[in-house]
Amino acid sequence: MEVINLGEQNSIFNQFIADIRDVNVQTDPLRFRRNIERIGEIFAYEISKKLDYENRNIQTPLGEANIDVPDAFPILATVLRAGLPMHQGLLNYFDRSGNAFISAFRKYIDKKDFVIEFEYLASPSLDNKVVILSDPMLATGSSLEVGYHALHQKGSPQHVHLAAIIASQAGVDYVVDKLGNENCTLWVGAIDPILNEKAYIVPGLGDAGDLAYGEKLDS
């Protein structure tokens, strides 16, 4: 599996990463969501370079232009609820894409241990399609693995791009181990070294869903 870390090259992308991590910026949910959305747009642009293209003749008012354009738009999939702003950023660029939504959550066995429970999937057919599965935080990697396998209920994709903004090294290693033989590419914006006892990424940014949409009652 190819792992692509967009944060390894200096660009304005890193400013958006800095902003979503900054506790002083996180106090504004609107700004937090918008920064996640803009990061999603950059992921869309970078992933678009991996798509297949075809040449088309475009009629202009003065003649014809030959332009290479994507031969098909990818299906965009995300894990609710934290994935919604990133999904919107991807959709801003892949505006002709079909969409899939996965409901999954951490079900705690005790204060420390949990399993990822899959509940629901709304999706078009994924047979022979390119799919982008986004989830802003790649902590243990379990959610992304569950999401990946859930998508296969709707068909066999041609290729799946897994996209996470901030990942732990342990999460990256887990995904590569579990899905390394699948037809996948893993895209991340930053890789952090530590996964704490609650399986949160350190330094990370906290709970992306809560920061975007407000705190929730613990289940």
Write down the domain spans for the chain: 2-52+71-213
Local confidence pLDDT in tens for the 219 residues of the chain: 999 999 999 999 999 999 999 999 999 999 999 999 999 999 999 999 999 999 999 999 999 999 999 999 999 999 988 899 999 999 999 999 999 999 876 666 666 665 666 678 899 999 999 999 999 999 999 889 989 999 999 999 999 999 999 999 999 999 999 999 999 999 999 999 999 988 899 999 999 999 999 987 765
Tell me the C-alpha distance between 105 and 79, whole Å: 9
Tell me the C-alpha distance between 5 and 144, whole Å: 17
Q: Which fold has domain 2-52+71-213?
A: Rossmann fold (3.40.50)
Q: What is the pTM of this model?
A: 0.92
Closest CA to 136 of 182, 87, 193: 87
